Chains A and B, each alone.
Chain A
Amino acid sequence: MQANDPNIKWIEEPKLGLTGKMYLPLFVQGLTTTTKHLLGPKVTVSYPDVRPTIGNPLIYRGVHRLNKDEQGRVKCVACFLCATACPAHCIDIVGVESPWPDREKYPESFTIDELRCIFCGMCEEACPVDAIELTSLFDLTGRSREEMIFDKEKLLSVYDQTKDTEPMKSNALGGTV
């Protein structure tokens, strides 16, 4: 874009008024803010002794989970749409024919490299069956890089761990399936 592009709207800096020139009113204004935060409720928590509260867990983008259907099977149909949407290329799926008569295809292996992931939530948006979701678990740690590559079992266990506190978004937010 050139500097003389017609789409650029140039704005003049507003001139300082009398209060601005006097300096003191702005000084008081700033100090008021400081005092307000000094006396107001504390937001800082001494993590990890105290855990911070998550605003809305339904829209928080933390560790992934793989949802299960009513029969306890993995919901994923191995369509690779999350892997396609993923800008960090951190999802690796091996799809095979499913062992169940009512399902066509399922993931034999499903791994997410949590270290490579940028937690953008594109996989969640791409999923046609709401199988992959981001939970509100944020304190993701591990002792090795290998440990941080989550396989299908681990992702399903994240679902078991969070299903009571965070219902499937398909139900909570009016999903498709």
Chain B
Amino acid sequence: MSVHTDTLLDVEDLHVYFRTDTGENVRAVDGVSFQVQPGKTTAIVGESGSGKTVTSEAITQLFPSPPGYIPEGSVTLDGQDLTEISDDEMRSVRGGKISHIFQNPQGALNPVYTVGWQIREAVMLHQDVSKTEANERAVELMTQVGIPEASTRLDDYPHEFSGGQKQRVIIAMALACEPDLLIADEPTTALDVTIQAQILNLLKELQEERDMAMLFITHDLGVVAEVADRVVVMYAGKVMERGPVMDVFQTPAHPYTRALLECLPGEGGLGGIPGQLPEPTDPPDGCRFADRCPHAVEMCTEGGQPDLYDVRNTEAHTASCVHFAPTMDPGVVLDGSERVATDGRGRTSTDAGQPSDDEEAEHR
């Protein structure tokens, strides 16, 4: 896809491999493309091991290198390819234009420095200000993220803050230099449910105030529905489906997305998706999900991952499934159990009941 004028971040055919001791490549991210629009939120969804975190860390190259490397693909921010810039230039992007929030606030702050010191460091790395000014800025940021009596808490150490407050401090630190893009990697996963909602609301407020774009990594579809404008569904290092959040939730196209939605509590099955992720060093031919897919046909296990085909002719909503190829009938996936094709693995009869649940979900 070409770079649109309204695209802030354009990730194109990104690959991230990790070389193992035996010389094999673990293909954590294996050709992923998506965009983030200025001021909007894109969410990457997938189960553990799908490569969503590595994708997010590849944007500013935070993954350990070696063994990790980017064999192909581009990450374009404002027309600048981040995979080709120097280390110095990358450092000014990190924290300056792109900030990160990580999953576990307990470990993300250095235990031997005060929170004031750590926020100040973020400010002073990118702005030519004095220590006093940086301190004022830190108080201002801490107040904005909702830490009461910020000026008195500046000299407190991280262990003197609760988990939710720590995450607020980390958010303050990430916002220190007014980034264009905030990458939030499961920012609420390690927090308890009441705090989760607060942090999500805070992020949404701050995003609106600053007109900041957000890349939101999560495995929680409930969170996606709340924060995202667009969704990218990842599985085994590949994009399975992507599109506007309403389209994806109303018409989940890829069988994997449908299976994920079914796993939500209250959607019928709590049984999870049978089977497991394919071997990351030697992925199978065809669709990565074919082995676990109730709709898999013979052509699903041939060639590479299917192209991203338009779902119901809307350009923004695409799915990487052969059933959506122009010559195929998407109804096989979308319309229920009767016409489920089988590849002769004997799944048809046992799985026949499930797609009807999909149908319910779809019409809700």
User: Is B a genuine binding partner of A?
Assistant: no
> Which residue numbers of A lie inside 8 Å of B, CB to CB?
none
